[in-house]
Structure formats: C-alpha cells, structure tokens
Amino acid sequence: MKQAQLPIPTGWKLLLNELYQRVHKQVTSPWTKLVVLACLTLLFTQREFSFNVSIGGGDGWLSVKETSVFNNSAGGPTISGGAAGAEAVTEAKLTGYVAPAKEWTARQKKQLAYVDRFKLVALAEMETHGIPASITLAQGLLESGTGRSTLARKNNNHFGIKCFSKKCRKGHCSNHSDDHHKDFFRNFETPEESYREHSKVLMKSRYKSLFTLAKTDYKNWSHGLRKAGYATDPRYGDKLVRMIEDLELWRYDRL
C-alpha cells in the first residue's frame, strides 16, 4: 500500500527556490572565490612557517647547523656559582656570531653537538678564569669520548677528575672496574659542575705558567698541559691541537 505524499505548498517551493538561487549566486561569485583563495593562501603560508620553525628550533640534533654551530642557542646549560655573572656576557658575545660554512663529517657533527651543549659554560669559565674556551671544550671532548664514556655517563665527570681526599662523604667519588683499585673519580650532579671543577684544577700552581700565555695561544696551552702532567699520553698536546683546529674551536677564544 503506497503512502500518500503531502503536496508541498507553492509558497514553500518559491521560498526554497529563491534561497537556492541566492546561495548559488553567492558561491559562484568572483568575490567569494577570491576570499576562499586568500584564506587558502594564508593557511598554507602559516603552516609552512610553522614547519620551518619546528625544523630549525629545539635542542635536538637538527639544531646543529654547519653555518650556525657557533651561534647562541636557546636552552643552554645553567651556569651558577661564581660563573653566574659571566653567562650574560658570553650570551651577548655569541649573539649574531656565524662561523663560515663548511662540510662536516658525521663524526664532527656529533662532536659539534657536544660543543653546542657546553659552549656557554666553557665561555663563562674563560670569562671568569682566563682559560681558553677551545682548551676546555677540546679537553671535554677528548676526556669524555664526546660525552659517551662510562665516567661521563655515570659520574657526569667529563675531564677524568680524580678524588684525592681521604675523607670523602658518600657519593663524592667512585671506582670503576677498568681502573686501578686506587683510582677514585669524582661524582658530579651535572656535567656543567665538572666543567667548573676543571677550572679549579687548572688554577693549581702546577699550571700557573699557562696563564702567562694569551688565551688565543691554544697550541702552547695544549702542549703546556701535557708538560705540566695533566695527562701521561705524550701525544696529548697534539690531540688537543688537532681537535681545536678540525672543529675550529679557536674561534671561541676570539669572542
């Protein structure tokens, strides 16, 4: 049995038809097309801008660029204690500083990521104590295996700093299975703390002659550290010089 269909009043038909004609006219209007095009263009450019920012920013691997490795970056290490006043000075020096473009190897990029992380504290120590930032960074790289050594990962000790105290409090130092049984190394809360302790080590009398050198004289600083007994490796000075020159760390000493 078919259901009876109610007839649509003529007035409604006219109203719906008029409404359809107005909507169709508005949608197909050149002005409407222009507005839609403008909105799409604006949306596209905003999304493209956001994409660029996400790639260029942050503290991850992508933040290390071949042409901006020496630029100041957000989220650097927190500098406290005696070096607090030097932080603003070092950040100001880094602002707008760009190194020449260069093709870096995969290994160098990892090393430069390490440098980018600790450059502020190294520069602050140079500002405070006169130790070339290139020396501090090169020693940190070499002694810590670019931050991947057991001592660096477990003790936050990036310079192989030993403990000679006979009355250590708990957690002050530790021994590692691959070290001599009498070799105890300092534990630090953060890697930056080991950077500041490294400066204290170099302030001892055995390294006093180094401070008569210009802070830009990284070669004599490197060989002087070896002669003063910082390391037993006879090629230690050469290794520091090569590290500084390969990564162009000497540029920091001139800021």
Tell me the domain boundaries of the chain: 10-54, 63-155+189-253
Short-list 58, 22, 215, 250, CA closest to 137: 250
pLDDT tens readout for residues 64-73: 444 334 444 4
pLDDT digits (tens, 9 = 90+) for 26-37: 667 777 777 777
Dihedral, 117, 121, 127, 128 alpha carbons, nearest 10: -170
- CATH class of domain segment(s) 63-155+189-253: mainly alpha
Runs of H (alpha helix) within the chain: 10-27, 30-56, 84-94, 106-129, 133-144, 150-155, 191-202, 218-227, 236-247, 250-253
Confidence of residue 48 (pLDDT cuts 50, 70, 90): very low
